[in-house]
Structure formats: structure tokens, C-alpha cells
Amino acid sequence: MIQTKIWSREETLDREQMRAIQLERLQKTVARVYENVPHYRKKFKDNGVEPGDIKTLEDLQKLPFTVKADFRDNYPFGLFSSPKKDLVRFHASSGTTGKPTVVGYTRKDMETWRELIARIVTMAGVTDEDVAQISFGFGLFTGAFGLQHGLEHVGAGVIPMSSGNTKKQIMIMQDFGTTALISTPSYALHMAEIAREMGIDPKNDLNLKWGLFGGEGSTEAMRKALNDEWGIFSTENYGMSELMGPGVAGECTALRGMHISEDHFIPEIINPDTGEVLGPGETGELVITTITKEALPIVRYRTKDITSLHYEKCDCGRTTVRMSKIQGRSDDMLILGGVNVFPSQIEEVLINTEGIGPHYQIKVFKKGHLDKIEIDVELVDANYLDSFKMLEELNRKVKANLRTVLGIDSIVNLVEPRSLQRFEGKAKRVIDMREEK
Ligand code: DLL
């Protein structure tokens, strides 16, 4: 195992010390949201709990869950615990409807974020000797900016490359001597292909040592392909906008799961159908409570991500709990090249486009290493089929709407009215042909 530095003392606390910190911070967080956020106050009252009831860590289970729809219902800033004036950054990710899920950070939240990213990049091998190329999209997405602050904090040289423009990525990688690649795993595989097309052998002609991947699921086979192709040691990390962005958890070089920064996040695993809390090692939905955030503390957030928690000490010396690879989601959210999309959002775009009906089918597949989405949607009026021009125009419009509203590029096929399959029970509108994550 490659030995890496441990960034902060909190990663090695014994269980009793950690639990004491967690309880104190949990109590503060619960009081904070109760005081500042009407949504939480009402929900706690409806459930007959108040901050004073949280006397032990187990009392967390008395509190109600928070779900993604709570963000939609309180759009844009209703869940914030800090006045708008104290916010220094906003980010957003896909919501369950056309409106995004908005998140905000105070100055202190930005410091916390930087610290937590410093932990995960350090455990993945990155030091101040490294040149890190961030190939996540810079913008409302938390991935790129989040990694940037933490990488700079450890002293790495950051190239804020953003995603896309792949040939230029490779050129910069070669010319700047990039040693760490930060991206989604699927994009990293695609970049290797393009490098080869350019006559560059990613393993021998470039200087990469580390790959830090996240934002979407990946398999061990994919890790092997990435390591072999680029000649790197790759780790993955996990995060979510609502919780902070990247930095919630990351793999160390022992590769025994992703260490959760438990002095900032309390994880639980529940049965997604009953809400019952499950034990260590059991597989279920990850629920997280943030315990240090100021602007947007979240109590018992249902992530919908399926995983398990492991408390045995890791070979790396850290004592923080590890979560296993995400095994899937308990909802229907699709992740297309790191962009999160709900089928319901696609439906909304389709329905709001004049000339096409509510019957559609979505196919998701891989082309090379990239996620592609193809949508068959019925025309309401068969007469369109007689005019190539009208058909083209409509097709262009649907694609443009999907791009503007959801940020996805899609293949759209306009098909005859009543030609798609009808369902008597639950409609199966999404066919995901990508390999099992
Ligand atoms: O994807 C944050 C992030 C950026 C994490 C960069 C790591 C690196 P969202 O856009 O809000 O935030 O998407 C969160 O992405 O609930 C998971 O379903 C999925 N996801 C993130 N990391 C992983 C991972 C960022 N390592 C959603 N494995 C989460 C599997 C992941 N799924």
C-alpha cells in the first residue's frame, strides 16, 4: 500500500472522542435549524421533538428525514440558516422539477469545504509536488470549485481546465506536466481514447500519477481500465451538493471504501422502504446529517444512494467510518456524465414543447465511454410526418429545450402518434443499457 500523509488529527480520533464531538455539534445544529428555519421548526413540532430531546447520538433517530422535495418546496433559499448577506457562494444541482436545488456557503463553510477537500486529496496521494488538472465543469456544479480550493490548500498547482475541449485537455496535460487528473471516471476514459487518437500514449507520453474520480458511479473494472490506460493510481470520492459538494467522503490508498469525515457528517443507513435504521455492514440508503455547516445545515438527508458503512480501523491509520462503493440509487435519478437528471424533468420539457405528446421512451447507453441519451417521443399530429422541414424544426426545438433546461445533449426521434408501447401498470419509460454500476 502506498503510504500517504494524514491531513488532520480528526481523521484518527478514537470512537469515544469522535462521538463526543459529534454529539456536541449535532445539538448545536439541531438548535440552529430549529431557531432559523421555519421548515424544520414545523417539522420537528409535527413530529413532537424539540432540540432539548437530543441527549445522545441515538436520539438523532427521533428527528424527521429531509428529502430533495424539501428543497423544491423552499426554493430558492428557504432552508438556509444564515442571512443572505452572510453567504459568499452559491451552487446548484438538478432538482426534481425544472427548478434547481440551490445551496449556499458562508465564509466559514468555505473554510470547512477547503479543509475537507484537503483531507480527501491528501489521502488519495496528492501533495504540494503535484499539478492537478480539474476536468469537472466550472460553474454551478460543486465539483470543480470544491476540488480547486482544497487542492490549492494542500499546495498543489491547479489547472482549472473545466470539462470538454478534450484535445486541448491533452495538450495542456502534456505541456504543463499534469500529475493528477480530477474528473468523472467516464470522462477520464474518454480522454484516454482521444489522447490515443492524437498519437499520444497516455501511460508513457504523459506524466500522470494520480486519478481522483467522483460525481458518478464506477466499477472496479473501470478503475483497472483507468489505471492501466493512464498508468495512474486512482481513487474515488463521494459528495453531494445538498451536503456540501465533493468532500463528504474519499478513498485512501488502502482502497477499502471511502472515509467519511465524521466530525462534519453523521452517516446512517436505513431501509429505504421502511425508514428503519440498519446496522454496520448492512446495505441500504445513506442518510446524512451535517453537523458543522452554517448556511445550510441539513438534518437526516435521504441521499437515495445505496451503500453500507464499515467501522473497523483502516490500514491507512484513519479511524473514520468507510462507506462502500455506491451500489445504485433508490430513486430514478439518472447520472449522465456526472450531470444529474430526473426522468420527470425530461417529461416536463417534452410536455411543454408544442406538437409532441406525453408518450415517450428514454434510452441511456454508452458510446465508447460516454453516456448518451436517446429519446423517442410521439408527435401529437401525424401530419408533421409529411413535412420534413417542420419535423426538423420541431426536433431542433426539443433538443434545444433539453439542452437549455437540463444541460444535456440528446438524440431525439419524433415518432408517429400511438406508436410507442402503452403500459397498464407502472410505465417503464427509461431503459438504462449501461453496464451495472
Ligand atoms: O456530484 C458532487 C461531487 C463532485 C462528488 C465531484 C465527487 C466529485 P451532485 O451533482 O449533487 O454532487 O450529485 C450527487 O452524484 O447523490 C450520487 O448519486 C452521485 N455521486 C457522487 N459521487 C459518487 C461516487 C456531486 N463516487 C450525486 N459514486 C450523489 C457514485 C456518486 N455516485
Indicate if 390 and 311 belong to the same structural domain. no
Task: Say yes or no: CB of residue 356 within 6 Å of ligand 1.
Answer: no
CA atoms in the 13 A half-sphere facing the CB of 139: 9
Instruction: Decide if 306 contacts 326 (C-beta within 8 A).
Output: yes
Q: Which of 276, 302, 327 is the last residue of a domain?
A: 327
Task: Say yes or no: CB of residue 217 within 6 Å of ligand 1.
Answer: yes
How far away, in angstroms, is 240 Cα from ligand 1 center? 5
Tell me the C-alpha distance between 319 and 260, whole Å. Answer: 10
Domain extent at residue 428: 334-432
Query: Does the structure show a pLDDT above 70 at 14?
Result: yes
Indicate if 320 and 340 belong to the same structural domain. no
Q: Which of 287, 310, 327 is the last residue of a domain?
A: 327
Indicate if 277 and 420 belong to the same structural domain. no
How far away, in angstroms, is 149 Cα from ligand 1 center? 18
For a mutational test of ligand 1's pocket, the pick from 136, 181, 238, i.e. the residue with the most ligand atoms closer than 8 A to its C-beta, is: 238
Residue nearest to atom 14 of ligand 1 (CA): 240
Query: Does the structure show a pLDDT above 60 at 436?
Result: no
For a mutational test of ligand 1's pocket, the pick from 66, 96, 240, i.e. the residue with the most ligand atoms closer than 8 A to its C-beta, is: 240
Indicate if 348 and 288 belong to the same structural domain. no
For a mutational test of ligand 1's pocket, the pick from 68, 94, 340, 437, i.e. the residue with the most ligand atoms closer than 8 A to its C-beta, is: 340
Note the pLDDT of residue 384.
85
The continuous run of DSSP H or E covering 230 comes out as helix 220-230
Minimum mean pLDDT range among 79-88, 110-119, 143-152, 350-359:
350-359
Q: With pLDDT > 70 as the criterion, what percentage of the chain qualifies?
A: 97
Q: 219 Cβ partners below 8 Å, 6+ apart?
A: 435, 436, 437
Residue 272 pLDDT grade (very low, low, confident, very high; cuts 50, 70, 90):
very high
Tell me the C-alpha distance between 425 and 373, whole Å. Answer: 24
Note the pLDDT of residue 425.
62
Residue nearest to atom 13 of ligand 1 (CA): 240
Tell me the C-alpha distance between 401 and 397, whole Å. Answer: 6
Indicate if 271 and 379 belong to the same structural domain. no
Task: Say yes or no: CB of residue 143 within 6 Å of ligand 1.
Answer: yes
Note the pLDDT of residue 426.
60
Task: Say yes or no: CB of residue 95 within 6 Å of ligand 1.
Answer: no
Ligand 1 atom at shortest distance from the alpha carbon of 339: 10
Q: 76 Cβ partners below 8 Å, 6+ apart?
A: 99, 102
Task: Choose among 224, 147, 139, 156: nearest CA to 182.
Answer: 147
Q: With pLDDT > 90 as the criterion, what percentage of the chain qualifies?
A: 78
Query: Does the structure show a pLDDT above 60 at 345?
Result: yes
Task: Choose among 244, 234, 430, 398: nearest CA to 332.
Answer: 430
**C-alpha Rg value of the chain to the nearest Å:** 23
Q: Mean pLDDT throughout 233-249?
A: 98
Whether 399 maps to a domain, the answer reads: yes
Whether 437 maps to a domain, the answer reads: no
**pTM assigned to the model:** 0.89
Q: 383 Cβ partners below 8 Å, 6+ apart?
A: none
Residue nearest to atom 12 of ligand 1 (CA): 240
Say how many residues make up the chain: 437
Task: Say yes or no: CB of residue 285 within 6 Å of ligand 1.
Answer: no
How far away, in angstroms, is 216 Cα from ligand 1 center? 5
Indicate if 307 and 341 belong to the same structural domain. no
Ligand 1 atom at shortest distance from the alpha carbon of 101: 11
CATH of the domain at 370: 3.30.300.30
Tell me, rounded to whole angstroms, the distance of Cα 44 from its chain centroid. Answer: 28
Question: Using the 8-state DSSP alphabet, how is residue 319 labeled?
Answer: -
How far away, in angstroms, is 347 Cα from ligand 1 center? 23
Task: Say yes or no: CB of residue 215 within 6 Å of ligand 1.
Answer: yes
Whether 40 maps to a domain, the answer reads: yes
Indicate if 319 and 175 belong to the same structural domain. yes
Cell of 109: 463553510
Q: Mean pLDDT throughout 337-341?
A: 87
Task: Say yes or no: CB of residue 142 within 6 Å of ligand 1.
Answer: yes
Indicate if 345 and 237 belong to the same structural domain. no
Task: Say yes or no: CB of residue 305 within 6 Å of ligand 1.
Answer: yes
CATH of the domain at 105: 3.40.50.12780
Indicate if 91 and 119 belong to the same structural domain. yes
Q: Which of 298, 327, 356 is the last residue of a domain?
A: 327
Residue 437 pLDDT grade (very low, low, confident, very high; cuts 50, 70, 90):
very low
Indicate if 372 and 321 belong to the same structural domain. no
How far away, in angstroms, is 82 Cα from ligand 1 center? 25
How far away, in angstroms, is 238 Cα from ligand 1 center? 5
pLDDT digits (tens, 9 = 90+) for 196-210: 999 999 999 999 999
Q: Name the domain count of the chain.
A: 2
pLDDT digits (tens, 9 = 90+) for 126-144: 999 999 999 999 999 999 9
pLDDT digits (tens, 9 = 90+) for 414-432: 999 989 887 766 667 899 9
pLDDT digits (tens, 9 = 90+) for 168-224: 999 999 999 999 999 998 889 889 989 999 999 999 999 999 999 999 888 888 899
Task: Say yes or no: CB of residue 163 within 6 Å of ligand 1.
Answer: no
Q: Which of 50-59, 321-330, 332-341 holds the top average pLDDT?
A: 50-59
**Cβ neighbour number for residue 99 with a 10 Å cutoff:** 14
Task: Choose among 125, 178, 118: nearest CA to 154.
Answer: 118
Ligand 1 atom at shortest distance from the alpha carbon of 338: 1
Task: Say yes or no: CB of residue 101 within 6 Å of ligand 1.
Answer: no
Instruction: Decide if 151 contacts 158 (C-beta within 8 A).
Output: yes
Query: Does the structure show a pLDDT above 50 at 249?
Result: yes
pLDDT digits (tens, 9 = 90+) for 151-173: 999 999 999 999 989 999 999 99
Indicate if 387 and 428 belong to the same structural domain. yes
Indicate if 338 and 322 belong to the same structural domain. no
Sign of the CA dihedral running 166, 172, 177, 178: negative
